[in-house]
Every structure is written in C-alpha cells, then in structure tokens.
Structure 1
Amino acid sequence: MAKLASLVLIFGLVTTLLLLTSYQAMSQEVEDESEFNYDENSEKGPQHWGDIKPEWFMCKNGTMQSPIDLSNQTVQIVSNLGLLNISYHPSNATLKNRGHDIKLELIANSSYLQINGTQYVLKQLHWHSPSEHTIDGKRLDLELHLVHQTPSGKTAVIGVLYKIGLIPDPFLALLTKDLMAITNSTGAEREVGVVDPRIVNFRRTQYYRYMGSLTTPECTQNITWTVVKEVKSVRKEQIELLQVAVHDESNTNARPLQPLNNRLVQLNYYYGPGLGPTP
C-alpha cells in the first residue's frame, strides 16, 4: 500500500507539472487590466505584479523578463539571422480599450512572421508610451508591439520604436476616428473594418533579437523578441490620443526595465537579396 501511495503521489506531481508547463506555454496577456497598473506608488504597480496573483509569479521571479536596455556595449553584432521574414496581408480588425492600452485584434490569420522555420501568426497590435525598450539607456516616445503566436502557444513579438517628429505615423492616422470613439471607455470595442499591417512599414534588415517575456502580467517567459533598429516618426497628438483613450492616471503604460541577467542580445545586419517591398 505504501508503494502504491508513493506511485500515486509521484503521478500527481508529474501531472501537475505537465499541466503547469502547458498552462504557461499557452498563457496570454491579461485582458482585464484593472487588476494592475503602472503607478510605482501603488500596491498594483509593477514592483507588486508578482504578488497580486499566484499565476503572475514570473513577474517577480522570472530571470528572462522584458523590457531591457538594448546597449551597444552588450549586444553581439551578427549577420546570420537574415532578413526579417514577414508576410503581412489585410484583415478585418477590432479595436479594444483594455484599460491601460489599446489593442487592435486581427480577425484573419493571414499575416505571419517566420523564425527558424517556425511560423507565428500575427494576432494583435498594441502600443506603449513611452517606449518600454530603451536604446543605450534612452527611452523613446512610443513603442508598437506586433504579437505573433503559433497554434501551440509559442509567442514572438516585434517591437517598433517611435520618436515625436513632424511626420505622423500613417497606421495610427487611419485609426484616429476609431480611437476617439472608444476614449475613456475601458472594455469598449469597435469594429474598424479592413486594416493592412503592411502600412506599419518597418525596415527588416537591422533588428535586435533576444529571449524575454511578455511585458504585462502574466509576464510569461520564452518570448522571442525582435526590436527593429529603425526609429520611426509619430506626431505628439497621435500619442496623446492613445493616452486619452486609455485614460490612465499614471500617464504611462511602460513597464520599468528588467535585469539582463547575462542573456544574449544580438543586433543583426542584413545586406543580402530580398530587400524589396514587404510581400
């Protein structure tokens, strides 16, 4: 009987570990963002995220967290990662005010990013202001995250950085009326018709690559990050519209920088064929 009890206990532990591993692999960003905030002085602020819920423990204990500083002193310059392999196409989309950010969810699974033979489907886009990643310690004005996922739940995110300039961001310009329609309405959703993610139009030849995490709870790790080196232009009014839409009293939705912990960060330069327009 003792041997049988031990076997049952071992089986239970193994099953629990397998379920936990599977759960973590399929983890998504939290949709109800009222459960946390970005106020450093709040009990729901970034330094306390890992204490709010047991399943958010990685926010406090993870060793591969994002965002990080992309420092020229620590990055490894390479050329073997190749041209960033994306294929984006128009899709119907829904705009949602999640409380601390605006998410644009694509309905069709027709756009993808391919890394090392694995195809990640573009699921949604959202914005952080100021930027979450920094370049040599410098925080920019805005960061767009394009979130891709495989059917098994593996995630890869492309980050695009912006600074305030005279030229407006054409992608945000298309969403102006829709953003205004969901201002100050947490949870509000709006169908925006067909959008084309190719309008984001970032360069695919120079980018940073590292392994990190989601930057919101549950702070799931083993996320493949690609941060485009090119810094694009956005108007101040466009950023203000995003901030007004989420109506966040902290006036920011950027997570503080996380320790690098000796992770490899690569900066890829590509000079080969295939430099034409994004397919």
Structure 2
Amino acid sequence: MLTSEKSAIFIALLYTSFLVTHACDTATGVRFGYSGKTGPKHWGSLSPNFTLCSKGIYQSPIDIVKDFAVHNPKMEPLERDYTAANVTMVDNVFNIALRYNDTSGAVKVDGKKYKLKQLHWHSPSEHTMNGQRFAVELHMVHYADDGNVTVVSILYRYGKPDPFLFQINDTLAELSAEGCKAEKGDPLPVGVVNMKELRQGAHRYFRYLGSLSAPPCTEGVIWNILGEIREMTKEQAAALMAPLEGSYRHNCRPLQPLNGRTVQFYERSRKL
C-alpha cells in the first residue's frame, strides 16, 4: 500500500498529466467536457479515476458568501515571491495554461512552501461571490514537495486591460492561428514573463478546503480566493478562449455544495 506521502505525489502527478496532455483519462482514453454526455454531471461515471467528481463531499468551486466567512486571526498574508521566468504555453484542450519551472517562485500557506507549477483560466469564473459570477477566473496552481496542492484564485470583471496578459498576446495569437495543426499539449515558448502584476492584491483573501475543479476532482486542495476583483477587456477574455474548441470555451464547473465547510478570510486591516 502506498504511504500518504507517496499517495499525495501520485495524485499530483496524475493531475499534472491532465493539465499537460489531454482532457481525458490517459489510462482509458475517456474524454470529459463541459456539456452533454461528458459534462460535469457525468464526470463521476466517465472513469474510475473520476469517482470523486460525483461522490466527493469537499468539492470545488463554491459560492463565497462574505457574511458567512469567518475571520481567522491566525491567518497570515499570502507570501508570494514569484520571479520573472521563462514560461511555455500549452493548449490542454479544456484550458490554456502557462507552465513554470521550479525556479519561478512560490507561495507560503501556513508556513509551508508551495512552488508555482502552472496557471490557467476559466471563463466564466468558477467561484462566485455572494452569488455573483465573474467574466474570468485565473487559477495559479502550486505544489509542495510532498505533493499537496494549493491554488491562488483571481477573479476578473470586464473593464480596463489587464497588463499581465499583454506579455502573452503574441503566443495566444500564434496558438489560435495554428488551430488544429497544433499538437494539443505541445508547449510553445513564451519567453520571460514578469510576475509583478500577480503578486499584488492579497490584502484580503478567502480560504477553504476543496478539490481540483476538473477531473479527477482530487480533494484536499487549499483554495485562496483573492478578495480584490481585477479587470480585463472583453477582447482579452476572448483571446484566452480563442485557441480552444467551441465546446471548451465555456469551461466552468457548476457550484458544489459547501457541506458544512467553513470559509475563512484574512484582512490586513484587522492585523494593524
């Protein structure tokens, strides 16, 4: 039997395989989607690897109800030491992602270091706040050395341009232009990406224990949802989805039951 540490590492590697290759179970070739017979309602029955998608009790995403969130005085600011780094872009079939190496930086959660591995976008947002759904949600996925996962989530409404996205415009356009000629999961070099914009806005955030929001829906993921809603233009949001096939351009999993979980929040002003 696997030890808990080995199990965690196996789960992390399994999820990475989904993010780097195809929107399918690589063992059986079972595809998942966001509508119809392969949509979220059916994920749990598509593959034995996806069982938690239907039977898990601590699933993501959820609705963040601000009035019900509990302030935790022991929570600390999200320490993020991201650095400028060479990244690659991949079309994972069900999202567009940037892939990072081990030197790109990390976040500390409860004193534990999690290295940034990749980030990707969902449109519209998967998490909601007080029932409000936003235009886009960015997931920054981090792994600890023991395989545990934490995600920093940023919500976006339509508005002024997002400076971070200017850095990847050309690669997005290249990926979109290649269309079906591009091998899914084949990385395209982006070059050096400055992470300054993504280090900001953590003076208030919400935390809860959930799951990966796509198959295999593994639980035990620590979610950190930034309270500051950012902006991007409609054109930028469309560019993020343009390389994807039509059925994956709405890659938002429905809200999941809270099932008694507590959503905690940190606010810098309460620390002063």
Question: Which of 28, 39, 44 is matched with 2:15 structurally?
Answer: 28
Q: Percent identity?
A: 34
Residue 156 and residue 193 in structure 1: after superposition, are their counterparts in 2 closer, same or farther (change >3 A)? same
TM-score relative to the length of structure 1: 0.86
Paired amino acid for 2:206: Y
Which of 112, 126, 132 lines up with 1:132 in the alignment? 126
Cα distance change of structure 1 residues 265 and 19 upon mapping to structure 2, 3 Å threshold: closer
What is the correspondence of 1:16-165 to structure 2 with a 5 Å cutoff? 21-22=7-8, 23-24=10-11, 26-29=13-16, 30=18, 31-33=21-23, 35-39=31-35, 42-165=36-159
Distance 2:11 2:185 in 1: 25
The structure having more radius of gyration, on CA atoms, is 1
- For residue 109 of structure 1, give the secondary structure of its aligned residue in structure 2: coil
Relative to structure 1, the CA distance from residue 162 to residue 18 in structure 2 (aligned partners, 3 Å threshold; closer, same or farther) is closer
What is the CA–CA distance in structure 2 between the aligned matches of 1:20 and 1:193, rounded to whole Å?
A: 34
Tell me how far 1:110 sits from its aligned partner. 3.6
Q: Which amino acid aligns with 2:81?
A: S
Kept after mapping to 2: 8 A contact 1:27/1:220: no
Which deviates more, 216-225 or 77-86? 77-86
Instruction: Provide the rounded CA distance (Å) in 2 between the counterparts of 1:128 and 1:110.
Output: 22
Deviation of 1:26 (Å): 5.0
Distance 1:106 1:79 in 2: 32
- RMSD, matched Cα: 2.0
Structure 1 residues 53 and 19: alpha-carbon distance in aligned structure 2, compared to 1, 3 A threshold: farther
Alignment check: 8 A CA contact 1:212 1:223 kept: yes
Q: Does the 8 A contact of 1:91 with 1:108 survive in 2?
A: no
Aligned to 1:6: none
Give 1:172's aligned residue. 165
What is the DSSP-based 3-state SS (H/G/I as helix, E as strand, rest coil) of the residue aligned with 2:38? coil
CA deviations 1:109-153 (Å, max 9, x no partner) are 340111122100011110001000000111000000110001221
Aligned to 2:238, what secondary structure does the other structure show? helix
The one-letter code of the counterpart of 2:145 is P
Query: Which ranges in structure 1 are unaligned for 5 or more consecutive residues?
Result: 1-14, 274-279
In structure 2, C-alpha distance between the alignment counterparts of 1:16 and 1:107, rounded to whole Å: 27
Secondary structure of the 1:130 match is: coil
**Which whole-Å CA distance do the structure 2 matches of 1:37 and 1:108 have between them?**
30
In 2, the alpha carbon distance for the partners of 1:200 and 1:84 equals 12
Whole-angstrom distance in 1 between the partners of 2:229 and 2:72: 20
TM superposition outliers: structure 1 runs of 4+ over 6 Å:
16-20
Partner residue, 1:9: none
Distance change in 2, residues 1:65/1:59 (3 Å):
same
How many angstroms apart in 1 are the aligned matches of 2:189 and 2:174?
A: 11
Structure 1 distance, partners of 2:117, 2:128, is: 25
Shift of the 43–17 alpha-carbon distance from structure 1 to 2, 3 Å rule, reads farther
2:265 matched to which residue of 1? Answer: 267
TM-score calculated relative to the size of structure 2: 0.88
**Structure 2: 5+ residue runs without aligned partners?**
25-30
Q: Which moved more, 1:75-84 or 1:122-131?
A: 75-84
